[in-house]
Structure 1
Amino acid sequence: MDVALAELVSVLPVGRGWWYEVKLDGHRTVLWRTRDSVRLQSRSGRDVTAPWMDIAVAGMELPPGVVLDGEAVVVVDGVISFAAAQSRANSGPARAARLAEQHPALFIVWDVLALPAGDVRARPYVERRALLLEVLAGLPEGSPVQPVSATQDVEVARAWYESLASTGVEGVVAKWGGASYRAGRSSSWKKVRHAETVDAEVVGFTGVAARPRMLAVRLPDGRTALSQRLGAQLAAQVGALLAQVPAGRRERTPGGELYASVESGLLVEVLAGTTRHPVVTVTRVR
């Protein structure tokens, strides 16, 4: 399932028809309730059911045919922890199960893409929101599958943005109430974030795949650039994913730097202010 993406803006849009949702700091996840089981998909399309098995088990309470879009998050000491979500996502089944016992995951849902009766992506946001609340109302009390907080009041949204950063709320997403669910980035979804970052695709690396020194990333404008040298923890996280895919031929950036190309489907965040330069700063894996 190709997911919808929000356009990064500096201020929230205002006017009749806009809805606002809190943006949480976790892992984008699509949940498929099939006839016999549950499958979880990352933003890039990878199967991530194993590390998020507690969410998958909870999803079995949904009717077969339901497809949900949302964020897998982990709360540690009352704060949404991206580091904990990263640890879970990068773990094998046994370690993920141990981490789930310590800090169970939540699946915060902001959209329903399909119901037992069929695909609902063409319906407007306001209708899909109502359908989402209806389907989640059928889950047992205390289910980790929960709807995202949403409001039509921009002042409430601004209060969320200004007061909830310390709890792991990353920002606010504004969605046009009449818009259908469209794959890719569109102007009907806009996000304001505390960290000014953009997403970039990993297309290569320098060093060895298991512990890359730098990443070659494709920026939103199509340019390819090398990153600054990765820190040890970030290199280990990226390396665990790159080691699973074969490296391609040697390529060069527009500036002439050599790197080993790779088709990883991996996305990272880079500081927006560095994208104007030949070397960009990677902040984390998405």
Structure 2
Amino acid sequence: MTPRGRARPLRPPLKVALAAPVGELPRGAGLAYEPKFDGHRMVVFRTADGALLQARSGRIVTAAFPDLDEAARRLPVGTVLDGEVVVWHEGRTDFAAVQRRAAAAPARAPSLARRLPASYAAFDLLAEAGEDLRLLPYRERRARLVALLGPLGPPLQPVPMTQDAEEAAVWFDRLPAIGLEGLVVKRLDEPYRGGMRAWRKLRHTDAHDAVVVGFTGPAARPSALVLVLPDDDAPVVSAPLSPALRAQAGAALKAPGRVGEGTGTAVATGLGEVGYREVTPGLAAEVERVTTRHAVTTVLRLRIPAELS
């Protein structure tokens, strides 16, 4: 592949660039700062036949987002974007609403799109007119991204970016008020490195919201919850619940229709793939995710809708 190469159009599944966590705001020359949205990672492909929307896992989710599918068709053929899908509610991002959109069956997706319209915050341009841009420096990809999306307007829009560390620090202090997670920091001269943690991310807190999609163990006292986390659509199994959380989760699952008919498998740390029972949308949890040798997701508290409390 060359910076200007046209040998092969980019097609899914495409590995996305990732960010490594840091404990304080990186500073120095040649850095760019972007807000980190609390949503679902998505790569948008504008093809000759229409559009394809790919989740971080590689799964094609076009049917779940008909509004973004329609918007993506306004892009020139051969465009590939990397970004985040968010749903805004009362001035804040709503991750549970994004997950409802992502999990929607094709028959329900259009009605959900009308009730919970999605926005796409693009933070990288990977291809334009079929030209692979991944080896170009970020500063050039960013300039071309803004020039491409500026005339189109919402729901496709570039994320804000600043090269001023002091302005980024102000953003970081104000982010929680609108439900954003923190900042992503990139070098202006770096290429796009799919599958590598070349970027850096500073979260405002170690705790963030996740959507409950299932559970393991008995419904009356689940042993663990199966969660979908921001920035990833692959379900993960939490660490074992405390006795109090087991009781609280069991009480929430008693609601009529809360336990679904479906089953699935998800990754549990130290165990590999385990089976779980699905739950219907509505439950969320505040979690802490710690990565040492393995990533461990601990449920701190449940967020139970008023009608279930």
TM superposition score normalised by structure 2: 0.70
Q: Distance in 1 between matches of 2:216 and 2:272?
A: 5
Deviation at 1:93, TM superposition (A): 2.1
Q: 1:283/1:111 Cα in 2 relative to 1: closer, same or farther (>3 Å)?
A: farther
Q: What corresponds to 2:194 in structure 1?
A: 183
Q: 1:182/1:275 Cα in 2 relative to 1: closer, same or farther (>3 Å)?
A: closer
Q: CA RMSD in A?
A: 3.9
State the number of aligned residues.
254
Verify the 8 A CA contact 2:30 2:189 in the aligned structure 1.
Answer: yes
Deviation at 1:114, TM superposition (A): 0.8
- 1:126 matches 2:139: yes
Counterpart of 1:166 in 2: which secondary structure? helix
- 1:146 matches 2:157: yes
Q: 1:24/1:278 Cα in 2 relative to 1: closer, same or farther (>3 Å)?
A: closer
Q: Distance in 2 between matches of 1:29 and 1:252?
A: 25
**CA offsets 1:55-89 (integer angstroms, 9 cap, x no match):** 11000000011000000000011111111111111
Residue correspondence of structure 1 range 33-182 to structure 2 within 5 A: 33-139=46-152, 142-182=153-193
Q: Distance in 2 between matches of 1:57 and 1:259?
A: 38
Structure ranking higher in strand proportion: 1
Unaligned runs of at least 5 residues, structure 1: 199-204, 218-223, 263-268
Counterpart of 2:62 in 1: which secondary structure? coil
Counterpart of 1:227 in 2: which secondary structure? coil
Deviation at 1:197, TM superposition (A): 5.8
Q: Distance in 1 between matches of 2:295 and 2:55?
A: 29
> One-letter code of the match for 1:6?
A
> One-letter code of the match for 2:166?
E
- 1:214 matches 2:234: no
Q: 1:23/1:279 Cα in 2 relative to 1: closer, same or farther (>3 Å)?
A: closer
Could you tell which deviates more after superposition, 34-43 or 271-280? 271-280
Q: Distance in 2 between matches of 1:213 and 1:145?
A: 41
Percent identity between matched residues is: 45
Q: Distance in 1 between matches of 2:177 and 2:18?
A: 24
Verify the 8 A CA contact 2:77 2:130 in the aligned structure 1.
Answer: no
Q: What corresponds to 2:205 in structure 1?
A: 195
Verify the 8 A CA contact 1:206 1:259 in the aligned structure 2.
Answer: no
> One-letter code of the match for 1:271?
E
Could you list the structure 1 runs, at least 4 aligned residues long, displaced by more than 3 angstroms after superposition: 205-208, 229-234, 242-245, 258-262, 272-280
1:7 to 20, 30, 38: 20
Verify the 8 A CA contact 2:269 2:294 in the aligned structure 1.
Answer: no
TM superposition score normalised by structure 1: 0.75
Q: Distance in 2 between matches of 1:34 and 1:125?
A: 23
Q: What corresponds to 2:5 in structure 1?
A: none
